[in-house]
Amino acid sequence: MLEIKAATGDLTGYETPALIVNLFEGVTSPGGATGAVDRALGGVLSGLISDGEITGRMGETTLVHTPSLAYPSFAPSRALVLGLGKSSDFGVESVRRVTAGALRRLEQASVKRAATIVHGAGIGGLDAGESAEAIAEGALLGVYRFEKYKSKGDEGSGGRLESLTLLDVDPAKRLVLEAGIRRGAAYAGAAMAARDMVNEPGNRFPPSRMAEVACSMARAAGVECRVLDRDAVEELGMGAYLGVAAGSDQPPKFIHLSLMGDVGNPSNNLWMIGKGITFDTGGISLKPPGGMSAMKGDMAGGAAVIGAITALASLRPRINVHAVVAATENMPGGSAQRPGDVVKSMSGKYIEVDNTDAEGRLTLADAISYARSNGAERIVDVATLTGAASIALGRGQSAVFGNDDALTEAVIAAGGRRGEAMWRLPLDEASKKQNKSKVADIKNTGGRPAGTITAAHFISEFAGRTPWVHVDIAATSMADSTDGVNPSGATGVLARSLVQLAEDLASG
């Protein structure tokens, strides 16, 4: 993994294959660290700005080779000028995005080591620690690759950057930079752990393997891990969850991770529940074959909560955090549940299974009941629940629902701080009626209209009066192409937001 460290001293005298500096859009005469580099290079950067080759547009990268014979007063072998965009639009998310792009550009040039100034810590208005955190987060997320099953790596992707040094001229800032790097690495680690799980193929990542990975990560982080097998789940009466698992030869695994950051105050808790369908065929209501391979990622919500709680172990907020994943496959085996079946949930409610491809909400129903029976005071569930979410909101933001305004706003705000946009949709009475069943207490689908909303209504029935938020990440858990901190493939969405949420709730 990329090593990130801090150092202080003269920027122009620091020996490195590449030094990253920056420029805001519209600036014609660079100042600060970029100005110092420009002077050491005899005005080369100013000349490129005058020629229009360097504009400062967001994400623009200009690589300037600086051989020592031509520029004896400049030690780095290259200077990469990074566009920060308009200063009025600048913030920590800008730092994450441009850092990710800059490092990918250096990897294309096969650069192994690089150094960077602390973006935005001057006229950008960020403090050094905040910027260091964003740089570390953006760097790690930006150079992430999943190459586990490529024997020769990804041809044409360039080399792998091995180390990045954050440079500042002020020696007093080193400890601040190092603290920011540690925080950024923890947040990025949450998302990368989630990405690793989501990118795994279904045959390599059945429920048992997901439980093994979760417990291995938990033990390494000092988090308690408990896994319930089929018999234990049956004793708890989780008929909705077991109905989904009935068609698979792979045994279900109910994963419960606990991090007690406020042992003396058990009611100060947050329960994060993630959908954990390790492969979703749709069951008897079989999905069409086109795109079904992506259903290996139907456990992205579960991956997010596992990544989040293990990252929180290093940050230690004063709050008790639980992560729950009811892991199973949804397969059309001979013992699979059928459309029209009725199952009894842990809550005692009877559910008509109108469509076996609406399986995630069935597992969430029992997972939420489990959380409530164990004293949950706040519940946030994360699920790749409905294709309708992308129809409603596109792929730029996740859909959010909640029965508690304060908790819902806290979730959205946490996502905003980490660049994971969400948009709240209503839980209206008209769409709620679509879930009514003629033979049971409720049915698991309300038809095509308002599909994302009726799914949330179904889950809300099991949350009851407990403050609860549901985040549908079906449209945001996978990316078709590289953008900002997200590579093509799994994004690890919501893992960082959940870490931020726990820290926000702990701080009051």
> Do 271 and 317 reside in the same domain of the chain?
yes
Q: Which domain holds residue 344?
A: 200-507
> Do 177 and 208 reside in the same domain of the chain?
no
Q: What is the rounded distance in angstroms from the CA atom of residue 125 to the CA atom of residue 140? A: 23
Beta strands in 29-91 (DSSP E): 61-65, 78-83
What pLDDT does residue 448 have?
95
Final residue belonging to a domain, choices 187, 216, 249: 187
- Residue 192 belongs to some domain of the structure: no
What pLDDT does residue 159 have?
86
> Do 140 and 287 reside in the same domain of the chain?
no
pLDDT in tens, 124-161: 889 999 999 999 999 999 999 999 999 876 655 668 99
- Residue 195 belongs to some domain of the structure: no
The token pair at 117 is 């100034």
Q: How confident is the model at residue 201 (pLDDT cuts 50, 70, 90)?
A: very high
Cβ-Cβ contacts under 8 Å for 323 (sequence gap 6 or more): 255, 256, 257, 258, 271, 272, 273, 274, 305, 306, 308, 309
Q: Mean pLDDT throughout 406-435? A: 98
Chain mean pLDDT for the chain = 97
Q: Which range among 1-10, 64-73, 146-155 shows the weakest confidence by mean pLDDT?
A: 146-155
Q: Mean pLDDT throughout 237-263? A: 98
From the CB of residue 148, how many other CB atoms can be counted at a distance below 10 Å?
10
**Single-letter amino acid code for the residue at 178:** E
What pLDDT does residue 153 have?
63
> Do 171 and 294 reside in the same domain of the chain?
no
CA-wise closest residue to 347 among 464, 431, 254, 451: 464
Residue 180, burial from CB neighbour count under 10 angstroms (0-12, 13-18, 19+): buried
- Residue 248 belongs to some domain of the structure: yes
CATH number at residue 292: 3.40.630.10
> Do 415 and 448 reside in the same domain of the chain?
yes
Q: Is 287 a catalytic residue?
A: yes
- Residue 301 belongs to some domain of the structure: yes
Q: Is 361 a catalytic residue?
A: yes
* 190 touches 308 (CB < 8 A): yes
Assess whether pLDDT exceeds 60 at residue 308: yes
- Residue 324 belongs to some domain of the structure: yes
* pTM of the entire predicted model: 0.97
- Residue 108 belongs to some domain of the structure: yes
Q: What is the rounded distance in angstroms from the CA atom of residue 279 to the CA atom of residue 295? A: 5
> Do 173 and 214 reside in the same domain of the chain?
no
Q: Kindly provide the b/e burial profile for residues 237-257, where b requires at least 16 CB atoms within 10 angstroms of the residue's own CB.
A: bbbbbbbbbbbbebbbbbbbb
Catalytic residue, candidates 104, 287, 318, 395 = 287
What pLDDT does residue 395 have?
95
Q: Which helix (H) or strand (E) holds 273?
A: strand 269-280
Q: What is the rounded distance in angstroms from the CA atom of residue 255 to the CA atom of residue 77? A: 50
Q: Mean pLDDT throughout 40-68? A: 97
> Do 158 and 68 reside in the same domain of the chain?
yes
Assess whether pLDDT exceeds 80 at residue 450: yes
> Do 221 and 179 reside in the same domain of the chain?
no
Final residue belonging to a domain, choices 158, 187, 216: 187
**Single-letter amino acid code for the residue at 406:** A
What pLDDT does residue 508 have?
85
Q: What is the rounded distance in angstroms from the CA atom of residue 134 to the CA atom of residue 453? A: 34
CA distances from 103 to 146, 158, 160, 164, 171 (A): 17, 11, 10, 9, 25
Percent of the chain with pLDDT over 70: 99
What pLDDT does residue 156 have?
57
What pLDDT does residue 113 have?
98
What pLDDT does residue 109 have?
97
Catalytic residue, candidates 183, 275, 361, 443 = 361
Q: Where is pLDDT greater, at 458 or 1? A: 458
Q: Mean pLDDT throughout 250-279? A: 98
Q: Mean pLDDT throughout 481-496? A: 97
Final residue belonging to a domain, choices 157, 187, 217: 187
Q: What is the 3-state secondary structure (H, E, C) of 88-116?
A: HHCCHHHHHHHHHHHHHHHHHCCCCEEEE
**Residues pairing with 228 in the sheet:** 254
| Number of structural domains in the chain | 2
From the CB of residue 489, how many other CB atoms can be counted at a distance below 10 Å?
18
CATH number at residue 8: 3.40.220.10
- Residue 194 belongs to some domain of the structure: no
